Amino acid sequence: MIDTDSQTYAQHKRSMKTTLPWSLVRCRCGCKRRATHIGLADGFGMMSGCELTVRRWVRDGDRASLKGNETHR
């Protein structure tokens, strides 16, 4: 059975690393820059974006989406 409790997901260790320099993927925050970093949870890639977006994701975790600061474009 899969546990979907949000506290379980928040316990995973989050980190970041840089992407390949020739990647053309764009950031999801709307800054129109290249997605230069990957957000990892327990070593598995979960998201990508500009450095600022990924640093906030690592720092704030699930709390970032609760603040309503992100806009979906």
Residue type at position 59: R
Long-range contacts, stretch 57-62, CB < 8 angstroms, 24+ apart: 57/14, 57/16, 58/14, 58/15, 58/16, 61/10, 61/14, 62/6, 62/9, 62/10
What's the token pair of residue 41? 């949870």
pTM for the predicted model, two decimal places: 0.68
Could you give the 3-state DSSP secondary structure of residue 38? strand
Place of tokens 């990892």: 40
pLDDT (tens digit per residue) in 6-40:
555 557 889 999 998 888 999 989 999 999 999 99
Residue spans of the domains in the chain: they are: 12-67
